[in-house]
Structure 1
Amino acid sequence: MNRISVILAACALSVACSPQQAEEPAADAAEVAANADTHGNMGGMAQNAAGDSVATRGYKTSMNSMMEQMPAFVGDADIDFMKQMRGHHQAAIAMARVELAHGKDAQARTLAQDVIAAQEREIQMIDAWLAQKEASAAPSA
């Protein structure tokens, strides 16, 4: 998959996982259980299942953490993009660490190492951009 495809997929995932989606009425436990899919996803959150491996639980935890910790949208397309991508990158690093802890395939492990390096580098770029944006928006004293 080329880099632009990865970025586009990341953007779509970030928007889909954002806590700013329209809220639906709270469901009772029976309704939530009835709507669970075969992968254990309930109400947008990946629920652990009895047969899940340690790795699967780790992947689900990383995705759920990302969804729970996504920052609120502020209405500025650039800032929203940067903040949402930062959360997505953090989840990618967490997933890559699960692969390194439990994966056996050499290619998958190499990709996990590459993902960590690339995502950490991009998080630094995002943090610098956000800090510069914040500094330029601050009123002069």
Structure 2
Amino acid sequence: MAIRRSLLRRTAALAAAATAALVLTACGGDSDSGSSGHSEHGKGATADASASAPSAGHSAGQDGHNAQDVTFAQQMIPHHRQAVAMADLAPTRARSQQVKDLAASIRKAQDPEIDTMTGWLRAWGATVPEADASGMGDMPGMDHSGSGHSGSSMPGMMSDSDMGELEKLSGAAFDQAFLRMMIGHHQGAVDMARTEQAKGVYGPATTLAKSIITSQSAEIAGMRKSLGER
């Protein structure tokens, strides 16, 4: 009887030990599984974030260009050159200091922009408009022979006749003619810049277009005020 009770106690103890071992193993397995699952989830999230994040130095619209970007640069370069040529007349012909200051501001802004756009065209392997004796240059669609506004496809461009007439003026007559011509010239540049913003894809070009719209629209308002216009 004593032997039987001893065997029963031993069997119970063994059963208890086995049960405890199973519980510990299960708990350990759950812990490892949870840790492993969390780790893999973290790795997955990191990988997803890395894949979705834009790489350094890669911004939309700055790594490529389209035909509109090329046209914008090729047309705006001679357009700017003509504005600078007009501005170059002001120091010796204008009476108004306001006109002289405006001319200096135009040259200061547009000379560097010509250099910038020239750099784009060279980088793209596109034709850079060559400057002629007037400093403006020729591109397809330009016509310097007419009277009034040229037959250029670029809005606001003056003809050789316009430029010749401006060169003959001085004093108050020059001031009036310069302001009226430059208003039309600026309006043309704004139209061209709006087309670039709508159809261009090269980031620096659309940014320049936005700057042209802002700065030249403000100058148009100032010139109209000087002429007594609203």
TM-score, length-scaled by structure 2:
0.32
TM-score, length-scaled by structure 1:
0.49
